[in-house]
Amino acid sequence: MGAANDDAVKELGLLMEQVEAPLRRSFQNVHQGYPKETLRRFLKAREWNVSKAHKMLVDSLNWRIENEIDSVLERPIVPVDLYRSIRDTQLVGLSGYTKEGLPVFGIGVGQSTYDKASVHYYVQSHIQINEYRDRIILPMLAKKFGRPITTCVKVLDMTGLKLSQLSQMKILSSISTVDDLNYPEKSETYYIVNVPYIFSACWKVVKPLLQERTKKKVKVLTGSGRDELLKIMDYSSLPHFCRREGSGSSKHSSRGIDDCFSPDHPFHKELYGHTKEQSSHKELLKMGSLHVNIPEPDPDDAKIVEVIEAEFHKMGEQNGSTNGHTV
């Protein structure tokens, strides 16, 4: 299988040499000096089918050009007050690195509310984090470790997950579709922690629908997952919601620099400072959100969203309400 995979990478590489110049330029922003690793990601996402991977990659590059993704780190991100509001409701941040050098991103799935800005701001913010990761953080780590580092680890905190979060499915689905079609195979592993019953129930229904390669990436840990995560990262890199057994994140607690969701965390300050500095060198760029064209989701992914929505509704009926219920 290894030789066949290598042949597929070579074949896809030859096809990419034939695309038009604008696509080749955009591809350079995507691969950041590691084209073979990028080709492998798109091939893995399409089960090593060269023609399907080629279409996926070309579609992604056209999407980048049409939506000016290559200049997204040169845009004013948003006014600082709105940026803080977005970070306080779209709970995501870089907590540190694994022992192998992979970035560790914490995501507060259970308490993200997405209620302080339009969907366009949230999608733009998510894309800017992706691009900052891929164009700034990963190349820096590759240089530091002397080898390609092109993926990350994500730790998803389910603390506070409620049935009412069904209303967020549109935004979450949009973000997921952007990632699946344009940033495939960027996450090495998803660690799920602080799991309530509602997630366990949904996971039993959704897991059989996932592709085998996706199921292998998802690891549901006991409690805060601290002990398991300490096998692959130092304590200082643990997301704050994993640092004490049984602890979870809370949007009502005071947020300091150790909280990777906080706008005052070094990662967010550096990201905001970078985009602000880059935009200061550009003229005629408007302050405001990108109205990114959200690609149509893969039919299988759309089916999974439908199943989750149906499961949430069923649980809501069983509990007599879908409003704010933590199960």
Flag whether pLDDT at 237 surpasses 70.
yes
Does residue 172 fall inside a structural domain?
yes
CATH of the domain at 209: 3.40.525.10
Q: What average pLDDT does the segment 143-166 reach? A: 91
Q: How would residue 105 be classed by pLDDT, with cut points 50, 70 and 90?
A: very high
Flag whether pLDDT at 178 surpasses 80.
yes
Instruction: Verify that 121 and 231 share a domain, yes or no.
Output: yes
Q: How far is the C-alpha of 14 from the C-alpha of 25, rounded, in Å?
A: 16
In this prediction, residue 280 carries a pLDDT of 73
Instruction: Verify that 84 and 158 share a domain, yes or no.
Output: yes
In this prediction, residue 141 carries a pLDDT of 96
Q: What is the dihedral of CA 266, 98, 216, 202, to 10 degrees?
A: -40
Q: Indicate the residue type of 118.
A: S
In this prediction, residue 40 carries a pLDDT of 98
Does residue 284 fall inside a structural domain?
no
Flag whether pLDDT at 283 surpasses 60.
no
Q: What is the mean pLDDT of the chain?
A: 87
In this prediction, residue 249 carries a pLDDT of 47
Does residue 275 fall inside a structural domain?
yes
Flag whether pLDDT at 319 surpasses 70.
no
248-259 b/e (C-beta count within 10 Å ≥ 16 → b): bbebeeebeeeb
In this prediction, residue 257 carries a pLDDT of 66
Pick from 13, 45, 66: which residue ends a domain?
66
Percent of all residues in the chain with a pLDDT value above 70, rounded to a whole number: 87
Pick from 36, 66, 96: which residue ends a domain?
66
Flag whether pLDDT at 309 surpasses 80.
no
Contact criterion met (CB below 8 Å) for 181 and 295: yes
Contact criterion met (CB below 8 Å) for 106 and 157: yes
Instruction: Verify that 247 and 196 share a domain, yes or no.
Output: yes
Q: What average pLDDT does the segment 106-115 reach? A: 93
Q: How would residue 246 be classed by pLDDT, with cut points 50, 70 and 90?
A: low
Q: What total of structural domains would you count in the chain? A: 2
In this prediction, residue 59 carries a pLDDT of 97
In this prediction, residue 18 carries a pLDDT of 96
Instruction: Verify that 185 and 57 share a domain, yes or no.
Output: no
Instruction: Verify that 42 and 80 share a domain, yes or no.
Output: no
Q: What is the DSSP string of 90-145?
A: S-EEEEEEBTTS-EEEEE-GGG----SS-HHHHHHHHHHHHHHIIIIIHHHHHHHH
In this prediction, residue 70 carries a pLDDT of 94
Instruction: Verify that 99 and 180 share a domain, yes or no.
Output: yes
In this prediction, residue 294 carries a pLDDT of 80
Q: Output 25 or 304, whichever has higher pLDDT.
A: 25
Instruction: Verify that 92 and 222 share a domain, yes or no.
Output: yes
Q: Indicate the residue type of 321.
A: S
In this prediction, residue 8 carries a pLDDT of 97
Contact residues for 98 (Cβ-Cβ < 8 A; gap 6+):
104, 153, 232, 233, 237
Q: Output 314 or 27, whichever has higher pLDDT.
A: 27
Contact residues for 215 (Cβ-Cβ < 8 A; gap 6+):
207
Instruction: Verify that 60 and 77 share a domain, yes or no.
Output: no
For residue 28, give its domain range: 2-66
CATH of the domain at 8: 1.10.8
Q: What average pLDDT does the segment 276-296 reach? A: 67
Q: What average pLDDT does the segment 141-156 reach? A: 96
Contact residues for 156 (Cβ-Cβ < 8 A; gap 6+):
107, 109, 190, 191, 192, 193
In this prediction, residue 256 carries a pLDDT of 63
Q: What average pLDDT does the segment 163-179 reach? A: 83
Instruction: Verify that 100 and 185 share a domain, yes or no.
Output: yes
Instruction: Verify that 62 and 78 share a domain, yes or no.
Output: no
Strand partners, 94: 105
Does residue 323 fall inside a structural domain?
no
Residues 28-83 pLDDT 10s: 999 999 999 999 999 999 999 999 999 999 999 999 999 999 998 887 667 788 88
Pick from 15, 50, 66: which residue ends a domain?
66
Q: Output 299 or 117, whichever has higher pLDDT.
A: 117
Q: What average pLDDT does the segment 260-284 reach? A: 84
Percent of all residues in the chain with a pLDDT value above 90, rounded to a whole number: 58
Contact criterion met (CB below 8 Å) for 270 and 100: no
Instruction: Verify that 195 and 245 share a domain, yes or no.
Output: yes
Flag whether pLDDT at 258 surpasses 90.
no
Q: How would residue 201 be classed by pLDDT, with cut points 50, 70 and 90?
A: confident
Instruction: Verify that 59 and 182 share a domain, yes or no.
Output: no
